[in-house]
Amino acid sequence: MVSTTGMAKTKQAQLTKPIPWGLALKGGTHPDIDPSMVLERPKVMHNPRTGKFVMWMHIDSADYELARLGVAVSDNPQGPFRYQGSFRPHGQQSRDFTVFADEQTGLAYVAYSSEGNRVMHISALTPDYTRVTSTYTEIFAGEGREAPAMFKHGDVFLMATSGCSGWEPNQLEVFWSRDPLGEWYSMGNPCKGGSDLENELTFFSQPTFVLAMPGLPGTFVFMADQWEPEDLSSSSEGFQQPYFCRCQNCSPVCCLRLTAQSCLQHRGSGNSWKWCFCCVRETK
């Protein structure tokens, strides 16, 4: 949670019932995190090499012209985090972003909306997860995608994104890739099962993160912000649980072909969605 006084930390005994733990990053200790500034979308990764916890965040001015990424480091997930400063990766704007650490390879990446939100960039991170390397790619040119949430299923990377419509909800689009720095392919809008308006507007939410559940391979929690444009401080976060279905006669990989169809089935009161990929055979 973020306020003008700093970054709050919470303990999640249950995903829908956060327990406040106080401030993880104290505001006012650096000009970037002064109460007059904007601090959004914090993400924390544990670095197995250094043992440190690394927090990335969107740092901006009130007019959203600064467009930088900020980094803080701590010895513990609950903080206190020590702010390291902010920068524009590769000299480019950075607004909505996500970070992803691949447990299989130890490599980490940051994906961020750039160039007036017209293009998304993905950059590899340094081994300590605190800076970008010289290696990056540009994707979704001219498509106006933001709010990326990257995750991995098997050996396939996926990324949920929203369009750009200010604080108003819009249509979700999911992409997949074999390599975060390679080509990304659209799987379209996975929202199904609700009303036409719910499906079109991602059930009135915007993706913020997809959490892989520890000890439950193939199980993820899709987290989405539900903005209140007239009163942003009262906005909330929804937690939905997507499940990947496994096909009996093929691996999950073949379910992620370009011709695959996907659905996000809305059930009951909206507190449970099911995300499944229909099987399409590999073709030579």
Task: List, for residues 143-170, the tens digit of each pLDDT value.
Answer: 999 999 999 988 889 999 999 999 899 9
Where residue 231 falls among pLDDT bands split at 50, 70, 90?
confident
- Map residue 167 onto helix, strand or coil: strand
Query: Around Cβ 152, how many Cβ atoms within 10 Å?
Result: 18
- Map residue 41 onto helix, strand or coil: strand
The answer to whether residue 245 scores a pLDDT higher than 50 is: no
The answer to whether residue 260 scores a pLDDT higher than 90 is: no
- pLDDT, tens digit (0-9, with 9 covering 90-100), for 100-141: 999 999 999 999 999 999 999 999 999 999 999 999 999 999
CA distances 12 to 54, 138, 146, 157, Å, are 19, 35, 26, 26
Where residue 181 falls among pLDDT bands split at 50, 70, 90?
very high
- Output the furthest CA–CA distance in the chain (Å, rounded): 58
Radius of gyration of the chain (CA): 18
Closest by CA position to 187, among listed 277, 282, 281: 277
